[in-house]
Amino acid sequence: MEPNPDLKITLIGAGTIGLSFAAFHLNHLPSPSHLTIFDTRPDAARHVFENLPKFYSSSDTLPNLFEIKVVDSLEDAVKDADIIQESGPENLPFKQELWREVEKYAKKDGLLWSSTSGIPASQQCQDMVDRSRLLVVHPYNPPHIMPLLELVPSPSTSATVIERTRDFWAKRGRVPIHIKKEVTGFVANRLAFALLRESIHLVNEGVVTVKELDEIVQSSMGPRWAVAGPFKSYHAGGGPGGLEGFFANIGGTVQDCWTDSGQVNVGDGWEGKVFSEAKEAYGVVDTAERDTITRRVLEVIDEEKANKKV
Amino acid sequence: MEPNPDLKITLIGAGTIGLSFAAFHLNHLPSPSHLTIFDTRPDAARHVFENLPKFYSSSDTLPNLFEIKVVDSLEDAVKDADIIQESGPENLPFKQELWREVEKYAKKDGLLWSSTSGIPASQQCQDMVDRSRLLVVHPYNPPHIMPLLELVPSPSTSATVIERTRDFWAKRGRVPIHIKKEVTGFVANRLAFALLRESIHLVNEGVVTVKELDEIVQSSMGPRWAVAGPFKSYHAGGGPGGLEGFFANIGGTVQDCWTDSGQVNVGDGWEGKVFSEAKEAYGVVDTAERDTITRRVLEVIDEEKANKKV
């Protein structure tokens, strides 16, 4: 439960990401009345009450969603909030104007978080008077399930704000990681897209199908990396010599794979084959099923890691 | 248990991979006496009996290891075997000569498998009379735990041999995937190394540390890809439009990440920083702990997927 009984959170934007964050926060706030949602769509309250239950599984206890404050005035939405988290459109002018307005009404020490997957805080804050409170808090979708939060401050974000943000997520059992530079796409997506790029190349060359490639990942590096990330895995693979020993043993093979890698680009012509194989293999994916299994995987890892530390 | 009560397997090479395969096969063979191990090291039997128990966890029941036949004549090792699986040195002349010798003594319909991670069957088979029975069966380490087997035939491998090999692994609950071309590094390592390459770049640039990068992967794409591989995940992420919808929405960001990717090479000078961070973060990794957790993750996924299909 909430370590701070007075904490109030305001979410701006009630799309998929905003509602998923709402489900997460409701698990920790002392009462749904501590959550405010602002969204410009007509009949936003009805949208929230109808769609938020989709973020709960059948075994969860639903909070009283009608206690959530769904408001249509930005001033009312933000004036009492300790944390203001936006998950609005991925559009720079929208975000710049939003923060300029939010700043007029928000408490001076309120934390300002953007869920953007691509627009750096240093650009979003351009029209603000005090740029020290804003940073990107980028989730891995869906945020009510996945533990990762990438904290990406701008050079103007204060160290205190970064620390308070990290502390918020860590106290709630999440994995907040401070990204030290505003690199394109931040870290998680860059890594995933690097693997996706080689995946597309191999499917396009007819080495494996889309479905076979997924089966390969699901039965090898997926479960491995759920438990120990790539560096830890290869450090272990190098025996007593660690990562250095690993590269001494098979650095040649690693470089051969890098040299031979496909380096496809968007629009290169692989799209037809890859998209149609995905459609044929999966149709419409049941994400509820995927999420249920993912939750259990995360629970098991937490349990086992807790046991090992005892 | 073994679907074929007469099946006999011979392993050539009792290093880490060979012994891990031994532990796997012992779980399925009707008796340890159906397993033969050939290794040229002095006192090979003692080596096997001392080291094989390391591939069992404390809750496993150990078979009677002394029933395993550890022999020092290649002819004796292979003459009765239905499957001959080599996990010897990664050295082309060694493997070429081995198969030439094995062929002299082996049963005509015995399957010949190489665990190599890099030397294609088409090179290994050069000195053989009948090249149709040999293919690469590449595990993801450690093979007694990880489900993946990459089946990489040469152009000379017969379709029947590929099918019998696939059938063997599928019947024992594993995930055999037929790789259609002998690409450098096969598929799993190419994918993992592509992500590793970008990981090294980001650590070298000071964006995150080695340990932070691992935490990012462990709390996002690791657990996700344990359940649904990259294509399935992004196909789901595209909503009703599937993978095509995903690229229509954020193909620009994907390409920006690809264009900005680091493309480091071995020997570029990142080694000092990356190796020392890994050593500091992990020292010597407890792989037994990692393997115990990985087993439970794989069990949970199997259980959950079995439930969903009912």
Interchain contact, B227 vs A294, CB within 8 Å = yes
Helices B271-282 and B188-204: angle between axes, nearest 10 degrees: 100
B245 to chain A, closest Cα gap in Å:
9
Please name each of the domains of chain A with its CATH number.
Answer: 9-178 (3.40.50.720), 188-309 (1.10.1040.10)
Q: Which residues from chain B sit within 8 angstroms of residue A244, using beta carbons?
A: 271, 275, 278-279
- The residue annotated as part of the active site, out of B2, B75, B103, B150, is B150
Please, what is the end-to-end C-alpha distance for chain B in angstroms?
24
**What token pair was written down for A157?**
């974000």
C-beta atoms of B232 and A214 within 8 A:
yes
Shortest alpha-carbon distance between residue A10 and chain B (Å): 25
Strand, helix or coil for residue B269? coil
Nearest Cα to A140, choosing from B34, B221, B210? B221
Among A194, A192, A173, A124, residue whose Cα is nearest residue A152: A124
Pairwise CB contact (< 8 Å): B188 & A296: no
Three-state DSSP class for A28?
A: coil
In B, which residues are within 8 Å of A196 by CB distance? 230-231, 234, 254
| DSSP string of B50-109, one letter each residue | HHGGGGS-TTSPPP-GGGSEEES-HHHHHTT-SEEEE---S-HHHHHHHHHHHHHHS-TT
Considering only CB atoms, A261 lies closest to which of B190, B243, B274, namely B190
The answer for A59, left when phi > 0, alpha when psi is -120 to 50, beta otherwise, is alpha
Tell me if B187 and A256 make a contact (CB, 8 A cut-off): no
Q: How many CB atoms lie within 10 A of CB B239?
A: 14
Q: Which residues on adjacent β-strands are paired with residue B115?
A: none
* Structure tokens belonging to residue A66: 């009608």
Contact assessment for residue B270 and residue B264, using Cβ atoms and an 8 Å cutoff: yes
Inter-chain CB proximity A185 and B298 less than 8 Å: no
Active site residue B150: yes
The nearest alpha carbon in chain B to A308 belongs to B289
* Closest residue, chain B, to A193 (C-alpha): B254
The answer to whether the CB of B24 falls within 8 A of the CB of B2 is no
Q: What is the CA radius of gyration of chain A?
A: 22
pLDDT of residue A310: 44
Per-residue pLDDT 10s for chain B (310 aa) are: 556 889 999 999 999 999 999 999 999 999 999 999 999 999 999 999 999 999 998 888 899 999 999 999 999 999 999 999 999 999 999 999 999 999 999 999 999 999 999 999 999 999 999 999 999 999 999 999 999 999 999 999 999 999 999 999 999 999 999 999 999 999 999 999 999 999 999 999 999 999 999 999 999 999 999 999 999 999 999 989 999 999 999 999 999 999 999 999 999 999 999 999 999 999 998 888 899 999 999 999 999 988 875 4
Q: What is the ipTM of this complex?
A: 0.97
Contact partners, residue B282, CB within 8 Å, separation at least 6? A231, A232, A235, A236, A242, B211
Give the type of residue at B211: K
- pLDDT of A254 reads 97
Question: Residue A242: which region, alpha, beta or left (left: phi > 0; alpha: psi -120 to 50)?
Answer: left
pLDDT score for A3: 65
**pLDDT, tens digit only, all 310 positions of chain A:** 556 889 999 999 999 999 999 999 999 999 999 999 999 999 999 999 999 999 998 888 899 999 999 999 999 999 999 999 999 999 999 999 999 999 999 999 999 999 999 999 999 999 999 999 999 999 999 999 999 999 999 999 999 999 999 999 999 999 999 999 999 999 999 999 999 999 999 999 999 999 999 999 999 999 999 999 999 999 999 989 999 999 999 999 999 999 999 999 999 999 999 999 999 999 998 888 899 999 999 999 999 988 875 4
Q: CB-based contacts of B132: which residues, under 8 Å, 6+ apart?
A: B156, B157, B158, B161
Q: Given this model, what pLDDT does residue B309 score? A: 59
Alpha helices in B205-286 (DSSP H): 210-218, 221-227, 230-237, 242-260, 271-282
Which residue in this structure is represented by tokens 């007593």? A240
Partners of A169 on chain B (C-beta within 8 Å) are none
> What span, in angstroms and rounded, lies between the C-alpha atoms of B147 and B173?
8
Q: Which residue of B has its CA nearest to A235?
A: B278
Strands B175-178 and A175-178, bridge-based pairing:
unpaired
Q: Nearest residue of A to residue B183 by CA position?
A: A207
Q: Which residue has the tokens 């990396």?
A: A225
Asked whether A174 and A237 are in contact (CB, 8 A), the reply is no
Torsion of Cα atoms, A40 then A45 then A51 then A55, to 10°: 100
- Identify the active-site residue in A150, A163, A289, A304: A150
The helix/strand/coil state of A271 is helix
Which helix (H) or strand (E) element contains residue A10? strand A9-12
pLDDT score at A309: 59
CB B114 within 8 A of CB B134: yes
